[in-house]
Structure 1
């Protein structure tokens, strides 16, 4: 058997040297990948409460995250609409529901995890609002539904049925539209986002400005939707609140199926 000294003289490596080098390389590569991943997934830098983000900070955030579709000056491109004149309310709605930035192009932007803090969204909203006048973010007073009584909730229900139910369903369960689009369900939605959606008309939704539905009526609609959140269906199992579609299927499957089963059972008795 050759000694270690004889191996050194011949210039040959130990049989385990290649395996050791491979393991060291894999560990180093894994460490580097983890370090890069931690940097890429790091949370946005927080700003001390004493130093609020400004519209200038919002401009930088916009150019880094939104300009590729909406243009460097928010003038719009073939991939994104112009944001000049949409107002702060539109920015707050789109950003704080996770619809913007879009994950991918599609019939409409989908709600997903929010990527920005409220402070960052407010800074971008201030920048967009500074480009041209537009709807502002609603105040807490506008969103306070505690002052809406039962009569106001009933009025909100009537307003909702007249203006919104044809797309969102009378119970706010949502519904399908054309070309792969849909009206989202309105259960457990933040009051500010409901108000902003009425005010700005995102995507396929029409705009309900204060001339169409005044602030008090908007608050009554919000109170009605929150009433639906807190009060289950008094008629029993609501079948998803999808109306005649789910109810008709229930009748065909269980009602007609039960009749057929009873008929088979009755006709089998003489045999």
Structure 2
């Protein structure tokens, strides 16, 4: 036992002397470099591969952009003006990937011809091509990113949470959206040839992105104006409108007094006028027949 203690003391003394030596610091430095290099070798390839993939996606998006979008938006997304100073296509710097996903994903872009408002139509590009163009436009300037499904989906809510979200979303919608989209989300006419589209049946992803980016004449509701939770509440309210039956019978498109007045004039008053003409015509025939019988 005494021998083991002496050996341990002798070994500790040697280690202490070597630790104070001039080569000790160099040895520690070499060990640190070897450890750092090993960690870099282990994790660096995956990062490099991901970066290369992102670069390829952006490059593909730029090629698609130059072919399909640069005529109106410029080769670098700076926007294009006509000779008379009118805006042919707005600048895309800072609009973010969410704006591209909305505009191209709903078929509004590319437009067949410049106009007041782009209608929704069948998309021209695939999901992969849209993602590539969105990645390229996102490099032009910081802007809203494409939201995750968890940000706009109401699937994970309990019944109680969903009812609360519907109530909150209804209040937000009635305050901010009914002036253009109608209280039932059926849309309506706008000044200068524009229109607010029908938003019932629209995918929650695009409703969220429309609120986030403010396409065309619609105001944008950034996360500073409406939080992601409030946007999701609005989506929950709109989905509840689709699920609820119309207890009033024929809804006439849900367009309110305009549609009701049109139906009143064309159908209601039209039917009454038709009956009045028919009664007058039959009364005249009866009087003629009576007069002829008297004379005979």
Kindly report the root-mean-square deviation, in angstroms, between the aligned alpha carbons of the 2 structures: 2.0
Aligned to 1:132: 141
- Say yes or no: does 1:66 pair with 2:55: no
What's the TM-score once normalised by structure 2's chain length? 0.69
Deviations 1:95-119 (A, max 9, x none): 1001111111111112111011111
Q: Structure 2 stretches of 5 or more lacking a match? A: 1-52, 82-87, 288-296
**Which of the numbers 115, 121, 136 marks the counterpart of 1:112?**
121
- Which residues in structure 2 correspond to 1:84-99 (within 5 Å)? 84-99=93-108
Q: Which residue of 2 aligns with 1:173?
A: 186
User: In the TM superposition, what whole-angstrom CA distance separates every residue of 1:32-77 from its partner, at most 9, and x where no partner exists?
Assistant: xxxxxxxxxxxxxxxxxxx786112111111121111111111111
Q: Which has the larger radius of gyration?
A: 2
> Could you tell me how far apart the structure 2 residues matched to 1:129 and 1:158 are?
33
Deviation at 1:177, TM superposition (A): 0.9
**Equivalent residue runs for 1:137-148 within 5 Å:** 137-146=146-155, 147=157, 148=161
Deviation at 1:230, TM superposition (A): 2.5
The 5 A counterparts of 1:214-253 are 214-253=227-266
Q: Secondary structure at the match of 1:234?
A: coil
- Counterpart of 2:211? 198
Q: Distance in 1 between matches of 2:80 and 2:277?
A: 65
Q: 1:213 aligns with which of 226, 229, 238?
A: 226
The alpha-carbon deviation at position 200 of structure 1 amounts to 0.5
* CA displacement 1:83-138 (0-9 Å, x = unmatched): 00000000000110011111111111121110111111111111111121101111
How many angstroms does 1:154 deviate by? 2.0
Structure 1 residue 150: deviation in Å?
1.4
Which consecutive unaligned segments of at least 5 residues does structure 1 have? 1-50
Task: For residue 208 of structure 1, report the CA deviation from its aligned partner.
Answer: 0.5
The Cα of 1:252 is off from its aligned counterpart by 2.7
Aligned residues: 221
TM (norm. structure 1) is: 0.75
Partner Cα separation in structure 1 for residue 111 and residue 244 of structure 2: 34
SS at match of 1:121: helix
Alignment of 1:247-262 (within 5 A): 247-260=260-273
Residue aligned with 1:145, SS = coil
Give the CA deviation at 1:234: 1.8
Deviates more, 1:83-92 or 1:229-238: 229-238
Greater helix content: 2
> After the TM superposition, which residues 150-189 of structure 1 pair with which residues of structure 2 at under 5 Å, given as runs?
150-189=163-202
- From the superposition, tell whether residues 119 and 260 of structure 1 become closer, same or farther in structure 2 (CA, over 3 Å): same
Say which SS state the counterpart of residue 63 (structure 1) adopts: helix
**Separation (CA, whole Å) in 2 of partners of 1:198 and 1:181:** 18
Higher alpha-carbon deviation: 228-237 or 197-206: 228-237
